[in-house]
Structure 1
Amino acid sequence: MKIARVETFAVPPRWLFCRVETDDGVVGWGEPVIEGRAATVRTAVHELAELLIGKDPMRIEDHWQVMTKGSFYRGGPVLSSAVAGLDQALWDIAGKTLGVPVHVLLGGPVRERVRAYSWVGGDEPAEIADAVQAQVEAGFTAVKMNATGRMNRIASPRDIDAVVRRAATAREVLGPDRDFAIDFHGRFTVANSRRVLPYLAPLNPLFVEEPLLPEHTHLLRDVVEATPIPVATGERLYSRTDALPALQAGIAVLQPDLSHAGGISEVRRIAALAETFDVLVAPHCPLGPLSLAASLQIAFSVPNFLIQEQSIGIHYNAGAEVLDYVVDREVFRFDEGHLNRPTRPGLGIEVDEKVVRAADGRTPDWRGPIWRHPDGSFAEW
């Protein structure tokens, strides 16, 4: 069996899929994408495909080593995301060839269902109580929300009060038996994080996410030591070496992204590294069905898993939904806020190839917004 063809599909709302086909007709799917840079990653996928055509797809680790280290310049989000999608597709082929889910190849399941959370609102969720209540009624036991939109470099009392009021509203609706996580989205400075977190602590968030930008990971310990709230980060860390300083800083939850951090192969290793620091893993996944399917293979096979992000119904998904691209929607059916263990071979889903091909190139590439402070200077989104 040899790899015969690699194809890519840019589909709404902002996703990129790759399809890897062998000469005997086995097809594997993956999701290599950077939000806002899908076209760039698409080019990288086809450059890496040159290393795969004609090769045995079952040599997944060797392919991962060559794709990540076969060039003098290594790493970074573009290369890591391109590798991630191809790696997912190779694992999909391996599982289908052997007739088992990927998590069986990773050592077998360690749980029968995984807890998931749902997003609430956008950057400024005005109707936070209604939005949280809707997720409770849908059966979810946890939600995540952004702390704020644009944040001043030094927060005003009004800024701080707005963050705390949103969180307090969520806690009031959820009660003591459900959870909320709050995403700072890298919009806060060290000073702002240290000022706001003491006010949030009595509300007992599940975790506070990305209180600092990844380039400020060397300052993360200052934030960790300033709060009893579990600190999470990792969506913009792409390898074990990227994750190590955050683990050393004392974070409680690591959030590698299966479409950014080198795919199933690398995220399994990242999870093992996190386990040595007594850190839990909550895979980042605001993307499409293949990224979620890959995330679930990790969630069912690593012992230090906490909770799974998923984007069904998320505010970003304008124009298309996760379920639009799969034939077997039952695999993503929530049961009391949990997803049951997939049993189909490979990634565990059947892609609706006809829909994917029809959707390719249907919408312009998505771009993240550019925010500015009142003085006209750049502000973090």
Structure 2
Amino acid sequence: MRIVDIREVTKPISSPIRNAYIDFSKMTASLVAVITDVERNGRRVVGYGFNSNGRYGQGGLIRERFRSRILDADPKQLLNQAGSNFDPHAIWGTMMQNEKPGGHGERSVAVGTIDMAVWDAVAKIEDKPLFRLLADKKGLQANPKVFVYAAGGYYYPGKDDAALRAEMRSYVDRGYTVVKMKIGGASIEEDQRRIESVLNEINGDAQLAVDANGRFDLETAIAYAKMLRRYPLFWFEEIGDPLDYQLQAAMTEFYPAPMATGENLFSHLDARNLLRYGGMRPDRDWLQFDCALSYGLVEYLRTLDVLHEHGWSPTRCIPHGGHQMSLNIAAGLGLGGNESYPDLFQPYGGFPDGVDVIDGHIIMPELPGIGFEGKSDLITVMRDLAE
């Protein structure tokens, strides 16, 4: 049993949308195939992975550094103790040989992308959905019902309040009970008008979350908090720079309602510092660590251990990214839900074909691996890379 090849292609996921910090006109993503010599159900097992939106494709790091470490390793060192499957933890350790700690840069994205593909292959070899494999390994009861919310509400050339309202209404009509929009890319007066417009549109049919994408300094953050706290928001997300724990902690004095952050923290040590110094409140706030951007599920398991040490429940985690990997983690390890992009970043976002959102939840299909084979537009692109 061995990994015979690892292939990467950098694909455009460009769009004219923007948030408070970046536009997506030149955004890319890495798609990876981990090809094995194992066969299941008449087909060679190939694990697939890709990085979440908002961080660019990592083809250079994948091809020039991490791919070769895996392929050059003794194949036996990449297997579990029984020799019956690959060991994601051993493969992760192989990738991270000769890597200094700290200063994650973009390598956390490269490693996380390969890690996703490895777990997909491992679950396929077991002929199990990944969420059931994860639950079994932890001695937990898998719950295939997962809360999902609809992310959108980006700034877009020529997009007025009517178009924003129509977008949010479309999510509610598709079964979502929480919708999210961007703020911080316009004046506070314009953002307040946009928020009130959406709240009037959804009119209690759903809750609204807002996302500043780390845009605000302390003075601006306080001004927005004073404006936002008059509205019944689901959360106020990523208020300031993700590493400015002092700013995040200060916001508890001005914003008593739920806050969310963590999508741009890329290790369990970063998570620990957020919980130590960021003033996050385990009874109401949300953590958004995204395994695809933060060294993969192997590291995410360490992050969950950190949460437990600090008295946090995994139910307070709703990962960023809108991908099926986090859906499997949510269903298998008891997270609070997952982000979803109903209309953006296709074919990578969304759910397998035929999976509907009902009252803000989806039911995980019983597909081996992560379930990419159930999404026809995505698996076509993936198999083009592998075959």
Q: What TM bracket, shorter-length normalisation?
A: 0.7 to 0.9
Change (3 A) 1:123 1:148: farther
Residues 1:167 and 2:184 aligned together: no
What's the RMSD between the two structures over aligned residues?
A: 2.6
Amino acid at match of 1:89: A
SS in 2 for 1:5: strand
Write the deviation string for residues 53-90 of structure 1: whole angstroms up to 9, x where unpaired.
Answer: 25235121122233235323655141111111111111
Distance 2:53 2:99 in 1: 20
Change (3 A) 1:246 1:348: same
Structure 1 match to 2:364: 341
Q: Are the aligned partners of 1:311 and 1:322 in contact in 2 as well (CA < 8 Å)?
A: no
- TM-score relative to the length of structure 2: 0.79
Q: Are the aligned partners of 1:115 and 1:308 in contact in 2 as well (CA < 8 Å)?
A: yes
Q: Are the aligned partners of 1:19 and 1:27 in contact in 2 as well (CA < 8 Å)?
A: yes
1:1-381 residue pairs with structure 2 within 5 A?
A: 1-13=1-13, 14-24=28-38, 25-32=44-51, 35=54, 37-38=56-57, 41-46=58-63, 47-53=65-71, 55=75, 56=78, 58-72=86-100, 75-108=103-136, 109-123=141-155, 126-127=160-161, 128-150=164-186, 159-176=187-204, 178-248=206-276, 249-251=278-280, 252-275=285-308, 276-278=310-312, 280-285=316-321, 292-303=323-334, 305-314=335-344, 317=345, 320-322=346-348, 329-330=353-354, 332-350=355-373, 354-356=380-382
Write the deviation string for residues 150-188 of structure 1: whole angstroms up to 9, x where unpaired.
Answer: 5xxxxxxxx333222222222223334521110011111
Segment of structure 1 superposing worse, 293-302 or 109-118:
109-118
Q: Which stretches in structure 2 are left out of the alignment for 5+ residues?
A: 14-27, 39-43, 80-85
Change (3 A) 1:226 1:219: same
Distance 1:310 1:111 in 2: 18
- Report the Cα offset of residue 271 of structure 1: 3.1
Q: Are the aligned partners of 2:132 and 2:142 in contact in 1 as well (CA < 8 Å)?
A: no
- Report the Cα offset of residue 10 of structure 1: 1.9
Change (3 A) 1:353 1:281: closer
Q: Are the aligned partners of 2:327 and 2:337 in contact in 1 as well (CA < 8 Å)?
A: no
Q: Are the aligned partners of 1:6 and 1:21 in contact in 2 as well (CA < 8 Å)?
A: yes
- Report the Cα offset of residue 52 of structure 1: 1.3
- Report the Cα offset of residue 358 of structure 1: 5.7
Amino acid at match of 1:345: P
Segment of structure 1 superposing worse, 64-73 or 139-148:
64-73
Amino acid at match of 1:88: M
Structure 2 match to 1:368: none
Distance 2:217 2:145 in 1: 37
Write the deviation string for residues 222-261 of structure 1: whole angstroms up to 9, x where unpaired.
Answer: 0123211211111110011111222222321111112201
Change (3 A) 1:212 1:311: same
Q: Are the aligned partners of 1:146 and 1:184 in contact in 2 as well (CA < 8 Å)?
A: yes
Q: Are the aligned partners of 1:323 and 1:329 in contact in 2 as well (CA < 8 Å)?
A: no
Structure 2 match to 1:379: none
Segment of structure 1 superposing worse, 29-38 or 247-256:
29-38
Q: Which stretches in structure 1 are left out of the alignment for 5+ residues?
A: 151-158, 287-291, 361-381
Structure 2 match to 1:155: none
Amino acid at match of 2:148: A
Q: Are the aligned partners of 1:75 and 1:238 in contact in 2 as well (CA < 8 Å)?
A: no
Change (3 A) 1:144 1:67: same
Q: Are the aligned partners of 1:218 and 1:245 in contact in 2 as well (CA < 8 Å)?
A: no
Distance 2:307 2:218 in 1: 24
Write the deviation string for residues 202-227 of structure 1: whole angstroms up to 9, x where unpaired.
Answer: 21211111101123223310012321
Distance 1:122 1:274 in 2: 31
Distance 1:132 1:147 in 2: 15
